[in-house]
Amino acid sequence: MDHFLYRDGILHAENVPLPQIAAAVGTPFYVYSTATLTRHFRLFDEALAGTDHLVCFAIKANSNVAVLKVLGDLGAGMDVVSIGEYHRARAAGVPGERIVFSGVGKTRDELRTALEGGIRQFNVESEPELRAISEIAAGMGVVAPIALRVNPDVDARTHEKIATGKSENKFGIPIARAREVYAEAARLPGISVVGVDVHIGSQLTELAPFRAAFTKVAELTQALRADGHQITRLDLGGGLGIPYTRSNETPPLPVDYGRMIVETLGDLGCEIEIEPGRLIAGNAGLLVASVIWMKSGEGRDFMILDAAMNDLVRPSMYGAHHDIVPVHEPLPGLEPAPVDIVGPVCETGDTFARQRPMPPLAPGDLVAFRSAGAYGAVMASEYNSRPLIPEVLVHEDHFAVIRARPSYEEMLARDTIPEWMA
């Protein structure tokens, strides 16, 4: 459920009509709903009520500091994968003790900065990383809390580019070697072993792969305890999928996911950490664009928008489906007709949808991409010298620009001409 509904024939974000935002900031833009973000965070928090837990929002899904503050103020922790994301979490007021640091390639500088600033736990993905953390922490005279990310060799049954839990993927330490690496961790100075971490992929639409991975984590935890390690936390990663179409997709609900976690891991008495990104932010955001031209081609019509693959790359990168709806509800009796919905970027891959039935629209009309709050703005680029588009946050009947559209002067000011050409 989200808070983007038609009222009097006009699509609203909470109580704000989208044309009002479009008039104020221009198109294209991203818009997020505070109420939907809040609701989705609470679904996870309540799914684990009764179990000691921390819901750490995966910042990679949506890293706007205002969005992070909405969640941080509700008590969310944060999962970061770069020191840039760490700075964003801190800027949103989230303390280090609620930030976990994941990622397969943390640099020494990043490790040091996180240790200086305070960190809840590093999710360690290799022996060299483990040794570097030990060296840096011991040198600073501090102890780094760590969990090892294990690779359980489980097929997440999702898009191959976002599956991470198979042995051929670059992520984690093979679960078969985990005891050996935990033994080394226990011997290293500056390291405190606190838990086990796993993340098998994103946009999972069934619980079975999670259950398979968590069952392996439960077995490993028992073995590690028998080896003498204090395992007090289990970080289960993110990955619960969302419905991208309003019709037939019904991924499992957070409450069922929570129940399955308790079933598979509840007996261990560990604190549970989860790292959802997409389910919290995805359906809490829209991308709003305008029609530039309608164009008739050979046997097909094109709807050319002012948003492009550089603003929302998911359709061209993963062949992902996003529902695209008119902001003004079509009058009854207007038949939808199939169109290719494209952006202005100079490649054929800049296609959002092929032969999508759409009501008749004209230049200047607004459309909204649903499910664009996660992996939307964060993956945008300035390809074709198209400045990054603004982000807007709605709260009831207010809205605020939470990232402004840069001017062309600002965009150009980042480049410099070397002295020898001046």
Applying CB under 6 A, the residues found at the interface with ligand LLP are: 58, 60-61, 79, 102, 162, 199, 202-203, 237-239, 275-279, 314, 318, 375
**In the complex, what is the shortest distance from the CB of residue 164 to ligand LLP, in angstroms, rounded to a whole number?**
6
**In the complex, what is the shortest distance from the CB of residue 110 to ligand LLP, in angstroms, rounded to a whole number?**
15
239 is in an annotated binding site: yes
238 is in an annotated binding site: no
| 56 noted as active-site residue | no
Residue with Cβ nearer ligand LLP (14 or 350): 350
Residue with Cβ nearer ligand LLP (165 or 326): 165
383 is in an annotated binding site: no
Name the catalytic one among 1, 226, 331, 346.
Answer: 346
User: How far is residue 43's CA from residue 48's CA, in Å, rounded to a whole number?
Assistant: 9
User: How far is residue 91's CA from residue 277's CA, in Å, rounded to a whole number?
Assistant: 19
The answer to whether 199 and 275 are in contact (CB under 8 A) is yes
User: How far is residue 113's CA from residue 83's CA, in Å, rounded to a whole number?
Assistant: 8
User: How far is residue 164's CA from residue 224's CA, in Å, rounded to a whole number?
Assistant: 23
30 is in an annotated binding site: no
Task: Write the single-letter amino acid at 315.
Answer: P
**In the complex, what is the shortest distance from the CB of residue 44 to ligand LLP, in angstroms, rounded to a whole number?**
10
**In the complex, what is the shortest distance from the CB of residue 117 to ligand LLP, in angstroms, rounded to a whole number?**
20
Residue with Cβ nearer ligand LLP (154 or 327): 154
275 is in an annotated binding site: yes
Task: Measure CA 223 to chain center.
Answer: 32
**DSSP string for residues in 317-383:** HH-----EEESBPPPTTPPPEEEEEE-SSSSTT-EEEEEEEE----TT-EEEESS-SSSSGGG---G
The answer to whether 182 and 226 are in contact (CB under 8 A) is no
User: How far is residue 25's CA from residue 265's CA, in Å, rounded to a whole number?
Assistant: 48
**In the complex, what is the shortest distance from the CB of residue 162 to ligand LLP, in angstroms, rounded to a whole number?**
5
User: How far is residue 256's CA from residue 233's CA, in Å, rounded to a whole number?
Assistant: 21
With a CB cutoff of 8 Å and minimum separation 6, the contacts of 249 are: 205, 243
Residue with Cβ nearer ligand LLP (71 or 291): 71
Residue with Cβ nearer ligand LLP (238 or 258): 238
- Closest listed residue to residue 301, CA positions, set 350, 337, 331: 337
187 is in an annotated binding site: no
Binding site feature residues: 239, 275-278, 314, 318, 347, 375
Binding site feature residues for substrate: 278, 314, 318, 347, 375
Active site residues: 346
